[in-house]
Structure 1
Amino acid sequence: MNKIAIVGAGSMAEAFISGIVENELIDKKNVWVTNHSNEERLSSLRERYDIRSTYDLKALFEGADIVMLAMKPKDAATAIQAIRNYLTENMLVVSVLAGVSMDTIETLAKKSLAIVRSMPNTSAAVGKSATAIAVNKRVTNEQIETTRNLFDTVGLTSFVEEEQLDAVTGLSGSGPAYIYYLIEAMEKSAVEVGLEKEMASQLIVQTLIGAAEMVKNSAKSSTQLRKDVTSPGGTTEAGIKVLEENEVQQAFISCIKAATAQSKKMGAALRSQLETADLPS
């Protein structure tokens, strides 16, 4: 990687900037970023990471071998059309846009491109993202290795087929929010049973970290690990019984299916817009 041009300057873009700089993947002066109009945000990123920013698209893309699309998905059409004349077949286009297919990106750009479509999650901000990646046939083996190195700076990376990315979006892309929701419930219950909130929060966080490490490092399934701590007539059994009575497991399954369906819906809506839109030539 010689130079990366990042279009979009939100939290996901910052996570990658931080990961690239901290891991010294390339020289900081070769990390460039832009956004639509928020100069204050660009200034903050420049000062924090000693990188470069510009609204001059020629300067942004000149010499860039990687272009990262990190704007909001709803802004993808406008943004890609604005930069398409600067995109070349030699560049690797890396998308972190939920629901936006590789074909859609090529349609908006009006040219064939080497594209990586990814689904990281917000834990990228602390280098713990679970990221799934799909590539099109124009991506070379060298670019695949570059992609792996880039995404490894923000967490764990897995390669999948593009049609699996909607499911990944519903599972791990939105997954941190489900865990935060669970933590909220545990915090509220801790207060109701008489625990001090700050202490309870520490216990909850460590419990989640410990459970995740057990699943990660144990040869046992999550089902078996649960059974191992569920003694007949014990406290855990009493709690699990309530979860089963309230169909909490089924609620999580429905939750992930709904998020997956929404990802597909967003992608279909954008494709539909493109089919009816009069795109500039």
Structure 2
Amino acid sequence: MQIGLIGCGNMARALARGWGLPLACSDPVAERARSLAAEVGGEALASNAEVAQRADLLVLCHKPAQLQAVAEEVAPHAKAVASILAATPLSALQSAYPGKPVYRFIPSLPVEVREGAVVQAAAPPQDAALDREVAELFAGLGTLVVLDDSLVDVAMGLMSCAPAYVALVAEAQIDAGVRKGIPAAQGAELVVQTLSGTAELLRQRGNDTMAIRREVASPGGLTARGLDALERGGLRAAFSDALDAVLGED
């Protein structure tokens, strides 16, 4: 399957690196498209329409506000369309690309190393073989979860924004260690490996967060005291507030 990217920003580059396939791409900043094509193989083209003509699957990675303008340029040439645009429901995509197979995905930055979370909006069958091929393409980037389209933006707030949150948590832990005398470089090694290992342990334990906490935190022990401090500091409320802010509900 020949992939075409419309837009070569951070998430588009993460997708391209994760797939590791030659592709066609375009971007308003021509050098950005040339750089990506040189890195992963393929070709940077002068126009979005040229990308659409070359691609079996056109992946929309442009700004959501550009949906109609881009569609006017590429819809006549597009064979199938996959969107990673935030706050752009399937109905809007179907309206912009009438009569075309249309798919909606929200990826997260770790797709770059094929360890991402990817959400797909559930949709009626379009073309059985194509539906399967497109789903497998995105599933190869990590874990693919299918949700009702009405929940995709909520999921985006959980997983597409989350790498920044996790990086902030890691930074806060490293800083706490530095305050107590651990050099930042060694603290970073310890914290990042602990985050990675805990994620793998959770996967192997069926995502049972409570069980992991109980194994680490004995009653009245040091970890229990640390967890209590985090709860009193409003950790849960902070994550809830962050999701509300992403969804514009703050």
> What TM-score do you get using the length of structure 2 for normalisation?
0.91
1:138 Cα deviation after fit: 5.5
Distance 2:140 2:84 in 1: 15
1:205 to 173, 176, 192: 192
CA deviations on 1:71-92 (whole Å, 9 max, x unpaired) are 12233333223323323xxx22
Structure 1 residue 70 corresponds to structure 2 residue 61: yes
Distance 2:237 2:49 in 1: 51
1:162 Cα deviation after fit: 0.8
Structure 1 residues 200 and 219: CA distance shift in structure 2, 3 A:
same
Distance 2:42 2:82 in 1: 19
Structure 1 residue 97 corresponds to structure 2 residue 76: no
Structure 1 residues 135 and 113: CA distance shift in structure 2, 3 A:
farther
Distance 2:158 2:30 in 1: 34
Q: 2:64 is matched by which residue type in structure 1?
A: P
Distance 1:128 1:17 in 2: 14
Structure 1 residue 187 corresponds to structure 2 residue 174: yes
Structure 1 residues 136 and 232: CA distance shift in structure 2, 3 A:
closer
Is the contact between residue 4 and residue 54 of structure 2 (CA under 8 Å) also seen in structure 1?
no
- How many residue pairs align between the two structures? 250
1:133 Cα deviation after fit: 0.5
1:258 Cα deviation after fit: 3.0
Structure 1 residues 139 and 234: CA distance shift in structure 2, 3 A:
same
1:50 Cα deviation after fit: 2.2
Q: Unpaired segments of 5 or more residues in structure 2?
A: none
Q: 1:147 is matched by which residue type in structure 2?
A: V
CA deviations on 1:12-43 (whole Å, 9 max, x unpaired) are 2222222333xx5xxx3xx211112x121122
Structure 1 residues 57 and 224: CA distance shift in structure 2, 3 A:
closer
Question: 2:45 matched to which residue of 1?
Answer: 54
Which segments of structure 1 move beyond 6 Å, counting only runs of 4 or more? none
> What does 1:110-121 correspond to in 2, within 5 Å?
111-121=98-108
Question: 2:11 matched to which residue of 1?
Answer: 12
Q: 2:135 is matched by which residue type in structure 1?
A: R
Is the contact between residue 49 and residue 73 of structure 2 (CA under 8 Å) also seen in structure 1?
no
1:211 Cα deviation after fit: 1.2
1:64 Cα deviation after fit: 2.8
> What does 1:235-250 correspond to in 2, within 5 Å?
235-250=222-237
RMSD: 2.1
- Tell me whether 11-20 or 239-248 shows the greater mean CA deviation: 11-20
Distance 1:244 1:16 in 2: 36
Q: Unpaired segments of 5 or more residues in structure 1?
A: 266-281
Higher RCO, 1 vs 2 (CA within 8 Å, ≥6 residues apart): 1
Distance 1:250 1:57 in 2: 43
Question: 1:133 matched to which residue of 2?
Answer: 120
1:126 Cα deviation after fit: 1.8
Distance 1:48 1:216 in 2: 32
> What does 1:123-162 correspond to in 2, within 5 Å?
123-137=110-124, 139-162=126-149
CA deviations on 1:160-190 (whole Å, 9 max, x unpaired) are 2211101111111111111111112111111
SS in 1 for 2:24: strand
SS in 2 for 1:156: strand
Distance 1:114 1:136 in 2: 10
1:130 Cα deviation after fit: 0.2
Is the contact between residue 8 and residue 25 of structure 2 (CA under 8 Å) also seen in structure 1?
yes
Question: 2:96 matched to which residue of 1?
Answer: 108
Percent identical across equivalent pairs? 24
1:148 Cα deviation after fit: 2.1
- Tell me whether 123-132 or 8-17 shows the greater mean CA deviation: 8-17
Structure 1 residues 214 and 58: CA distance shift in structure 2, 3 A:
closer
1:213 Cα deviation after fit: 1.4
Question: 2:156 matched to which residue of 1?
Answer: 169
1:251 Cα deviation after fit: 2.0
